[in-house]
Structure 1
C-alpha cells in the first residue's frame, strides 16, 4: 500500500512541533504502512500492528491522528490515506505496523460542507471512530474553535472469563433491577472501596443477591459526554447517560483505573462476577440519537464522516427530531443498521451481555424518511440475528414524536416495557373508579396487548416506576413534580403521574399519612411481583429512596439521585418486605406462567387456572365500579411440584372492607403469606408460617391493602 505524501502544511490540521507525517520511506521509527483487508470496521489489533477501517462515501481525504497521551491537544503523527490505493469502495483502510493496544487516535476527513445536501465535512474536526472500543481523556478546551473530543483507544479484547457464559435464564423467570452504575455506589454512605464504578457494583453483589433479583438492567454505559466541558453546549450534567457518542465503548467515567482502556477490563470483571452470583446483565442502549445534536451542535464523529447516512434529514438538510434530543439516528439505512448489528454482537461476545433494552425503540420502526413501517428491517434483523438468539431484547415501544406501539411493536422475540401496566396499576391503587377490570387484566399478564399477536405474558415487562419519573416513595408522597433544580423552570418531566400524596405534599411527620404511604408502597411492590409477566423494579425503591419530587433527575449527579445506603437500615422493614415478595414470586411457579391464563381447568377435577370474585365470594360483576378484587390462581397445567394455589385479595378503597372466601377455595387449607395492612413482621411471613385462614369467617381487609394466601 502506498502512502500519500503531504506537500506543505495541510489545511485541515495545523502541524504542531514534532508532528511526524507518514512517509513512503521506511525507517526504524516510521515503518512502511502495509496492505490491509478492509474489514472489520474500527481499529483492530493484529499481531504486528493495528488495522484501521472507516466508512465514508463522500469523503475526499481521510487521515488517522495518533497521540501519545489523552491530554495531548495535538497528535504526534498524522497518517494520510491515499484515495487511489487505500480506499476500497466506500471503505478507507490502513495497516500501521508496530502500534499496540492502548494506542490513542482520532479520525479526520475532508469533503464537501453542503448542509442543504446533507454534507457537513469539516477538515479541521477531530473525529471519534464510530467503531471505537474505548475512549480516553476528556474534551479539551481550545482557542481555535476545533472540538477536541476524548481519544479513541485501540483495545485488546482478550480477557480471562474463567469459563463464563450467558446465564440464559428464561424471561418468564426473570426479576429485573434497573440501576445506574455510578449512582448505585457513589454516595459516601455506600462504604465501598471504589465508589461510583464498575468495581463498586461488584462490592454490592451480596446485597443484590440478598434482595433476590435475577438481572440488573444498567442505565446507559456506552460512552457519553458528561457536562458543558464536553463540547456539547449543555449547561447541565448528563447524569443518566442518554446522549451517546461511542456505541461500542463502555463509559470511561465509571472506571477506577486511569490508564487508557482500563474501564474495558473493569466492566468485564463486573459482568463476570455478576454472572458468578447468578445475576444477568441487561444494557439500556440508545440507538435513536447521538450527542452531536442538531445543526447547532458540535461535529466530533458521525457528522464529520457521513452525516446524511447516520442521521435522518429533512429536504433542506436539517435534522428530523423524533428523539426530542435534536437529531435522530438513521437506523434503517443499511450502513447504520450494519453498525448497530456489529455493536450488539460486540457487547454480547466481548462483554457477555445477556440482553438489551432499546430506548425509544419506536424510532427503530421508522424508515429512512421517518415513517413508521410494518416489519422494519432493523427490528426484524435484531429478532433473527443468530448471535443474539439467546439474549433478551426489550423495547421501550414509543418515541418522542408521538409513536406509541405498546402491544404492537414487533414479533414474539421482542418484549416491551408495558406503559399501560404502569398507568393502570397506579390508578387502581390511587382509588380511581373503574380500574378494577384493567387491574385484573394487568395482573393476569395483559392478554389484551400481547395474546392476539402470538406473544406470551413474559413479553410484558411490568413496572410501576422507572428511572424516568417518580421513585416509589415519591409516587406516594407527591402529586406535583418538583423539578426546579433542573434549571428548566419546572417545565421538564411528565405532568401525568397518577400519583397521590394522601394529604401533604412531600415529607410529613403525621404518622397516619406516613403509615398509609408505606402501605401503598408495599401494595405497589406486591402487585408487581404477583403479576404474570416480568417484573422490573428501580434501584432504591426497596428502601424508599426519594428524589424529593423530582420526576426527571437526568442532570442530578448528586445525592438527589444517588442510592443512600443509610436507608437500608432506616427502612429495613420495607427491604424485608421486598425480599419476601420477590422470594414468593421466585419460588411460586403459579405467579410466573409462560402461557396466558385461560379461566378453565387444564385437567379433570382441577380448579381453573384463574377465577375472579367480588367481596361476597361470588363471581365478580365487572359492570360495577368498586375498589375490591379477589383473584384465585390455580396451578392447573403447571408441571412443577412447587406450584400451589394462590389467593390474592386487593382493596384500594378508603375504608375497611370485609371479604368472603370464594366457595371454590374453601376446600383448601390456606396460610397467610403477605398482608400489607399489618405492621411488620406480620406483613410478610418469610421464615415462619403465617396464620391459617378460617374460610368460613369474613376476612377484614384494611383500607388500601392487599393480602396473599398460599394453599398448603
Structure 2
C-alpha cells in the first residue's frame, strides 16, 4: 500500500457543529480537498452555501451567525477526481458531517447517491444528490444523563445483548406509540423485568445512525441489526418516538437515565471497522466524498477498497485523523450520552497498521488506555475480522475483555455429546489457556452460547440445519457451523418428550454460561424461548422473525425461573464471580488456618479411595460425560457481597456437577474437609428429580441424564 501523509486535527479543532451565542461554528477534516462549502438547508430544501477556510491541520472552518438548533446542513467537497490516487471528490454529492450529532433519516436508493456513473465506477456522476440523501442536524447542548450510582467491575456483570426495536416491538406492556424506540426500551415494565431477572448491564446492538445496503433494499429487505453505520456521533433517528431533528439525542439520554436509576449499565455495540457506504461502487454519503484514501483502507493501486470486514470497506485506523474521530466518538458517548461501556465489532480491523498488518500496540489501543475519560469504561472486543491473521482471541491485553467463541463452541458441543470434559474444564474456569497471562483476569472472558448472529437458544435445540430462505439468498447465507442438536425432530413439534428434552438442554446451555468464571452474556429473550424459526442470519429481517414474541414467555417460564434463580446465586455467592484464576491452591478459613480444601478441584464421581478427585486416566477418557467442579474462596476473599449466604455453609464453596450423558449416573460426593453434607441449590432437571434434604458427604447422589446440579457444601 502507498502511504499518504495527512495533517491531523489539533486538539483545539472544532469538528462538527458547535452552537454559541451568535450562531454556530462548523469544522470538517478534509485535508486533500481544494474547496469545501457548508450547505445550510431549509425545510423546503433550499440551500445557502458558505465557503469554509482551510487550516494547517487539514480542518476547514466557518462561523455562521444566526444558526440555531435543528438547522439542517451538509457539505460539498471539491477536489481532483483521481481514483488512482484515492481521490473521488465530487461536489455534486451533498455529504453528511462525520461528527453530526443527529441525522434526519434514510436514503432514497433510487436517487443519484453514487459518486460515479452507472457505466463506470471510475467516471464521476455530475447529478446533484441533495434530494436523495439524509442531512446533518445542529443539536443544542443538553445535560448528560444521570450517572449510575456504581459502575460494577466486569466480573460482577451480567450482560444482556438486545436490539432496541426487536425487544419492544411486540411487548404487550409497552404502549404502541413507544414500541421499537429508546423510550419503549426505557419503559418501566421493561426495566423492572430486567431487574427481576438479574441483569446488570444491557448491551445494545448498534444505535449509531445506520442505513441499509442497496442490495437489501432491492430485495424488499432492510438492515435490521444496524451494523452499517453512517454517523458515529448520532443516535439512530428511527429509534426515536417523537422526531429526528435532535429529539433522538434527548430520548437516548432519557433512556440511559432510566437504566442508571435502576442500577443497570448501558453498553453500546459500536461499528468503527467499516461504514454504510460499502465499497467504492456503493453510495457516496459521507466519508468517501470527503477523502476516499483518508478514511478507508485501499489496495496497492489506490483505486479499490481493501476489505477485511466482508462489507466492502474497512476504516483506516492507520490514519491519525481517523483515530481522532473514533476517540472523539468514544468520549462523546461517555461524557455527553452517559454510556458505561463499548463492545467493538470486528475489533481486529481497528488494530491494523498502514500495511494492513495486525499490531496489538496500535495507536488507537494506546490512546484508549491513556484516556482518563475512558478509565473505568468497559472495553469488550470481538477479537477477530475476516482478514489475514484476523483471529486475535486472547491477545487484547489487560485493559480489555473479549468475546470467547471457544466457550460458545465447546459448550454447544459438550451438551450435544460431541466433546469430552477436558476443554469443558478450561472454559468453566475462565479459559486460562487463552487469558491467564500479562496480568489479565478471568473477567477477560465474555462467555456466551448465543449472540445476535446465529441461532437463538431455542433454535439451537430445535434445528440441526439453518433455515434462512426468507433472506432471499437460497439459504446459502449464514454459518453452517451451528453445533446444534434438534433433540430428534427438525423444527417445532407437539411431541411432549422432545419438547421436555429441549427445555432441559436449553437450561443446560444457558446455566453453564451463568456458572462459568468470566462475564456471562445472555441474548435477549433466550430465557423465554425466543425463536427465529431456524434463521441463523436474521440481520435483514425487520419483522416477526426478529421481533420477540412475548406469547412464548409462559410456555418457557421454567427456563426463565431457573435463569433468575441461578443469577441470584451468582449475585449471592462471590465464588461464582471472582475475577481471579484458580489453580487448586489451599483455602484459608476464617481462623487463618488451612481448611483442607482447595479453591479448585475436579471430581470424577466414581467411588474410589481418592474421594473422586480426577485422575490422569479419567481426564483422558474421551467417553466421559460427567464432571464435578468444586470451587471455594478464602474467607477473606468472600467477606463482601455474599448476600443471603448460608451461615452454616463452608466458606463460600460450591460443588457443581455437569452431566451430559443421556442416562442417570451415580456420583460420590466428596466428604471430610470438602463437606459434611451437601444441599441442592438448583438444578436443570424437573421437580422431584433431586433431593430436597441435605445429602451426606461420601454418599452417592443420582444425577438424572443431561443435568447440571449446584450443591452447597456444609461444614
**Aligned counterpart in structure 2 of residue 111 of structure 1, from 79, 96, 120:** 79
8 A Cα contact 2:144 2:338, kept in partner: no
* Structure 1 residue aligned with 2:373: 387
**Aligned counterpart in structure 2 of residue 186 of structure 1, from 166, 169, 174:** 169
- Are residues 1:376 and 2:362 paired? yes
* Structure 2 residue aligned with 1:539: 524
* C-alpha distance in 2 between matches for 1:155 and 1:249: 10
Displacement after TM superposition at 1:164 (Å): 2.7
- Are residues 1:247 and 2:232 paired? yes
8 A Cα contact 1:379 1:410, kept in partner: no
Moved more, 258-267 or 601-610: 601-610
8 A Cα contact 1:159 1:265, kept in partner: no
8 A Cα contact 1:233 1:297, kept in partner: no
8 A Cα contact 1:309 1:330, kept in partner: yes
* C-alpha distance in 2 between matches for 1:534 and 1:37: 36
* C-alpha distance in 1 between matches for 2:392 and 2:199: 25
Q: How does 1:229-240 map to 2 (within 5 A)?
A: 236-240=221-225
8 A Cα contact 1:119 1:307, kept in partner: yes
* Structure 2 residue aligned with 1:24: none
* Structure 2 residue aligned with 1:79: 50
Gaps of 5+ in 2: 1-9, 113-126, 643-650
SS of equivalent to 2:64: strand
* C-alpha distance in 2 between matches for 1:552 and 1:395: 21
Displacement after TM superposition at 1:377 (Å): 1.5
Displacement after TM superposition at 1:79 (Å): 1.3
Moved more, 387-396 or 487-496: 487-496
- Are residues 1:269 and 2:263 paired? no
* C-alpha distance in 2 between matches for 1:128 and 1:167: 37
SS of equivalent to 2:558: helix
**Aligned counterpart in structure 2 of residue 460 of structure 1, from 424, 434, 445:** 445
SS of equivalent to 2:586: coil
Q: How does 1:586-625 map to 2 (within 5 A)?
A: 586-603=571-588, 604-606=593-595, 607-616=597-606, 617-620=611-614, 621-625=618-622
* Structure 2 residue aligned with 1:694: 696
CA displacement, residues 21-49 of structure 1 (integer Å, 9 cap, x when unaligned): xxxxxxxxxxxxxxx99722111111221
**Aligned counterpart in structure 1 of residue 514 of structure 2, from 508, 514, 529:** 529
Displacement after TM superposition at 1:227 (Å): 6.2
8 A Cα contact 1:167 1:280, kept in partner: no
* C-alpha distance in 2 between matches for 1:388 and 1:166: 17
- Are residues 1:57 and 2:40 paired? no
CA displacement, residues 156-201 of structure 1 (integer Å, 9 cap, x when unaligned): 121264x535732111100000000011101264543410000001
Displacement after TM superposition at 1:483 (Å): 0.8
* Structure 1 residue aligned with 2:122: none
Closer/same/farther in 2, CA of residues 326 and 168 from structure 1, 3 Å limit: same
8 A Cα contact 2:385 2:391, kept in partner: no
Closer/same/farther in 2, CA of residues 667 and 288 from structure 1, 3 Å limit: closer
* Structure 2 residue aligned with 1:200: 184
Displacement after TM superposition at 1:332 (Å): 2.5
SS of equivalent to 1:265: helix
SS of equivalent to 2:402: strand
* Structure 2 residue aligned with 1:470: 455
* C-alpha distance in 1 between matches for 2:372 and 2:675: 50
* C-alpha distance in 1 between matches for 2:653 and 2:580: 17
* Structure 2 residue aligned with 1:13: none
CA displacement, residues 555-590 of structure 1 (integer Å, 9 cap, x when unaligned): 011011111122222322221111111111111101
**Aligned counterpart in structure 1 of residue 21 of structure 2, from 47, 51, 75:** 47
CA displacement, residues 377-417 of structure 1 (integer Å, 9 cap, x when unaligned): 11222222211001000000000225454543322001000
* Structure 1 residue aligned with 2:116: none
* Structure 2 residue aligned with 1:409: 395
* C-alpha distance in 1 between matches for 2:271 and 2:559: 33
SS of equivalent to 1:561: coil
SS of equivalent to 2:186: helix
- Are residues 1:172 and 2:158 paired? no
* C-alpha distance in 2 between matches for 1:535 and 1:702: 25
Displacement after TM superposition at 1:88 (Å): 4.1
SS of equivalent to 1:245: strand
Displacement after TM superposition at 1:672 (Å): 0.7
SS of equivalent to 2:229: coil
**Aligned counterpart in structure 2 of residue 649 of structure 1, from 657, 661, 665:** 657
* C-alpha distance in 1 between matches for 2:149 and 2:238: 26
- Are residues 1:398 and 2:388 paired? no
Q: How does 1:166-565 map to 2 (within 5 A)?
A: 167-187=150-170, 189=172, 191-193=174-176, 194-203=178-187, 204-226=190-212, 228=214, 236-316=221-301, 317-433=303-419, 435-565=420-550
Moved more, 513-522 or 662-671: 662-671
User: How many equivalent residue pairs?
Assistant: 662
* Structure 1 residue aligned with 2:6: none
* C-alpha distance in 2 between matches for 1:655 and 1:458: 34
* C-alpha distance in 1 between matches for 2:278 and 2:293: 14
**Aligned counterpart in structure 2 of residue 706 of structure 1, from 676, 694, 708:** 708
8 A Cα contact 1:383 1:414, kept in partner: no
Moved more, 138-147 or 187-196: 138-147
CA displacement, residues 538-562 of structure 1 (integer Å, 9 cap, x when unaligned): 0010101000111110001101111
* C-alpha distance in 1 between matches for 2:692 and 2:72: 62
SS of equivalent to 1:330: coil
* C-alpha distance in 1 between matches for 2:698 and 2:83: 78
CA displacement, residues 188-242 of structure 1 (integer Å, 9 cap, x when unaligned): 6454341000000111111111111100000000010146499x87753000000
Gaps of 5+ in 1: 1-35
Closer/same/farther in 2, CA of residues 302 and 166 from structure 1, 3 Å limit: farther
* C-alpha distance in 2 between matches for 1:608 and 1:75: 75
* C-alpha distance in 2 between matches for 1:403 and 1:483: 29
* C-alpha distance in 1 between matches for 2:599 and 2:12: 58
TM-score (norm 2): 0.89
SS of equivalent to 2:366: helix
* C-alpha distance in 2 between matches for 1:678 and 1:333: 58
8 A Cα contact 1:630 1:650, kept in partner: yes
* C-alpha distance in 1 between matches for 2:156 and 2:340: 14
* C-alpha distance in 2 between matches for 1:502 and 1:176: 28
8 A Cα contact 2:358 2:390, kept in partner: no
* C-alpha distance in 1 between matches for 2:221 and 2:395: 33
* C-alpha distance in 2 between matches for 1:238 and 1:293: 13
* Structure 1 residue aligned with 2:98: 130
* C-alpha distance in 1 between matches for 2:360 and 2:448: 27
8 A Cα contact 1:312 1:369, kept in partner: no
TM-score (norm 1): 0.89
* C-alpha distance in 1 between matches for 2:394 and 2:156: 23
* C-alpha distance in 2 between matches for 1:562 and 1:495: 23
